[in-house]
């Protein structure tokens, strides 16, 4: 019986000739990730169980990004604990103020994740790295602690849904519109503990940034992971960037899938997820009566340079609508610097936006843009649950950078033009 991409990677890391859906395995890890919220819990568990060493100082990444720069005393204490742990165990990939970025944008950028890797992270959006043909998934802080100590983790091998991509994605649509459309079609539990496996001729019209966005939100469909076939676009991104030797994996021709869903990319339109679930999707063109108080452009989903380019192109020479607060957050220091070089920061500021250092901040209701009672946000983030970005009566509409930027100018949700 053939294997999917995920099953092949897990078999290789478990030292087995093959694995099948539902099988319990213990697999070796290529990277263990934590952030400033989840790492302190993992460190406490690590110490409680008496571990005195980590499995590999080069295969652990601690990224301070959620409440960094620190928003309060508790956040400062958490990052201090992570800083001390990283220094004590000589963790090579520790990222703090001035060098940090939003973790799921930073690790691909730094070349710490690549094709064929097996990665766990104490953050649900660790599934992002499947865009590069790796297996990556979110775990709890206890599993992170065990992973740091042993370099291994237990998995139940997931079954899979194959998404056969055909056609070509048309402007102004992006990966965000694709994944919102898919979640709208299958629901937030449509891929529960399954692998979402993407392939087909339509891949050629999706950039790496599109794929990173799509894989990032696989968890919003309940998936264990999302993963893309390796192609020339992946190869071009990884060549000279990924720091370690890697092996790409393709699905077997006779791989078993629970279902195969064909997605015609040419039929995708600018899409918005309405409150309070990512599956509650509608075309942006049907939501023009939704007035917004705040627009957020950034996050691990849409804070990369292509996202900044899209937003800057729409905002250039214009000004956001009266009464709208627009916050732009480049996802990493490198993205921030590139925005500076290209003049995007000037564009954003002249348009009336606030520009922040990299942070997860407003996405999880942390800081840098908390919503008040009954306020409405259009955000390029990945979740719109009740109270996610602030007051429990606030509302979040998830959208692409193009839709978000155009809506900031209009003061209400609009469908961006293809120009």
- Per residue in 279-320, pLDDT (tens digit) is 999 999 999 999 999 999 999 999 999 999 999 999 999 999
Structure confidence at residue 228 as a pLDDT band (50, 70, 90) = very high
Give me the mean pLDDT over the 180-196 stretch. 96
Inform me whether the pLDDT recorded for 2 exceeds 90.
yes
Query: Taking every pair of C-alpha atoms in the chain, what is the biggest distance, in angstroms?
Result: 62
Instruction: Report the predicted TM-score, pTM, of the whole model to 2 decimal places.
Output: 0.96
Residue 240's Cβ-count burial label (10 Å; 0-12, 13-18, 19+) is exposed
CATH hierarchy code of domain 271-410? 3.30.499.10
pLDDT reported for residue 417: 86
- 89-114 per-position pLDDT tens digit: 999 999 999 998 999 999 999 999 99
CA-angle at 246, arms to 241 and 250, nearest 5°: 115
pLDDT of residue 140: 94
pLDDT 10s digits, 28-73: 999 999 999 999 999 999 999 999 999 999 999 999 999 999 999 9
pLDDT at site 365: 92
Which residues make up the CATH 3.30.499.10 domain(s) of the chain?
A: 5-265, 271-410
DSSP string for residues in 92-155? SEEE-TTT-B-HHHHHHHHT---TT-EEEESSGGGGGGGGGT-EEEE--HHHHHHHHHHSEEEE
Within 8 A by CB and 6+ apart from 23, the residues are 156, 157
Q: What are phi and psi of 310, to 5 degrees?
A: -60, -50
**pLDDT recorded at residue 419:** 66
The pLDDT of residue 1 is 77
Q: How, if at all, do strands 152-156 and 93-95 pair?
A: unpaired
DSSP state of 326: E
- According to CATH, the topology of domain 5-265 is Aconitase; domain 3 (3.30.499)
Q: What are phi and psi of 157, to 5 degrees?
A: -60, 125
What's the whole-number average pLDDT of the chain? 96
pLDDT of residue 28: 98
Mean pLDDT for 152-176 is: 97
Mean local confidence (pLDDT), 326-338: 97
Q: What is the mean pLDDT of residues 218-243?
A: 96
Per-residue pLDDT of 247-279, as tens digits, reads 999 999 999 999 999 999 999 999 999 999 999
- pLDDT at residue 191 greater than cutoff 80: yes
Residue 360: C-alpha distances to residues 24, 77, 196, 326 (Å): 34, 18, 25, 15
Interacting residues of 347 by C-beta distance below 8 A, sequence separation 6+: 312, 315, 316
Give yes or no for a contact between 79 and 85, defined as CB atoms under 8 angstroms apart.
no
């Amino acid at each position: 019986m053939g294997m999917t991409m995920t099953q092949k990677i897990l078999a290789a890391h478990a030292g087995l000739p093959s694995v099948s859906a539902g099988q319990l395995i213990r697999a070796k890890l290529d990277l263990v990730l934590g952030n400033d919220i989840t790492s302190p819990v993992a460190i406490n568990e690590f110490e409680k169980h008496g571990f005195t060493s980590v499995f590999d100082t080069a295969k652990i990444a601690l990224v301070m990004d959620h409440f960094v720069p620190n928003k309060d005393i508790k956040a400062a204490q958490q990052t201090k604990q992570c800083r001390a742990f990283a220094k004590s165990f000589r963790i090579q990939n520790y990222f703090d103020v001035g060098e940090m970025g939003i973790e799921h944008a930073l690790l691909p950028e730094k070349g710490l994740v690549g094709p064929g890797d097996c990665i766990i992270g104490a953050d649900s959006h660790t599934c992002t790295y499947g865009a590069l043909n790796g297996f990556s998934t979110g775990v709890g802080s206890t599993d992170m602690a065990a992973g740091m100590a042993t370099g291994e983790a237990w998995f139940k091998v997931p079954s899979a849904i194959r998404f056969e991509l055909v056609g070509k994605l048309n402007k102004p649509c992006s990966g965000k519109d694709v994944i919102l459309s898919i979640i709208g079609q299958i629901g937030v539990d449509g891929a529960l503990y399954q692998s979402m496996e993407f392939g087909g001729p339509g891949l050629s019209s999706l950039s790496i940034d599109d794929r990173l966005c799509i894989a990032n939100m696989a968890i919003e469909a309940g998936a264990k992971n999302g993963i893309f076939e390796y192609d020339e676009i992946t190869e071009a991104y990884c060549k000279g960037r990924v720091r370690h030797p890697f092996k790409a994996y393709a699905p077997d021709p006779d791989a078993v899938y629970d279902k195969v869903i064909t997605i015609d990319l040419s039929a995708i339109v600018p899409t918005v997820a309405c409150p309070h679930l990512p599956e509650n999707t509608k075309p942006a063109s049907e939501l023009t009566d939704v007035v917004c108080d705040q627009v957020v452009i950034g996050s691990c989903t849409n804070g990369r340079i292509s996202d900044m380019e899209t937003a800057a192109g729409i905002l250039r020479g214009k000004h956001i609508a009266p009464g709208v607060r627009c916050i732009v957050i480049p996802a990493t220091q490198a993205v921030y610097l590139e925005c500076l070089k290209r003049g995007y920061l000037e564009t954003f500021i002249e348009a009336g936006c606030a520009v922040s250092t990299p942070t997860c901040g407003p996405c999880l209701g942390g800081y840098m843009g908390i919503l008040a009672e009954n306020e409405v946000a259009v955000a390029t983030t990945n979740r719109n649950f009740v109270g996610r970005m602030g007051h429990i009566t606030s509302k979040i509409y998830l959208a692409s950078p193009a839709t978000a930027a155009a809506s900031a100018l209009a003061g209400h949700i609009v469908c961006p033009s293809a120009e």
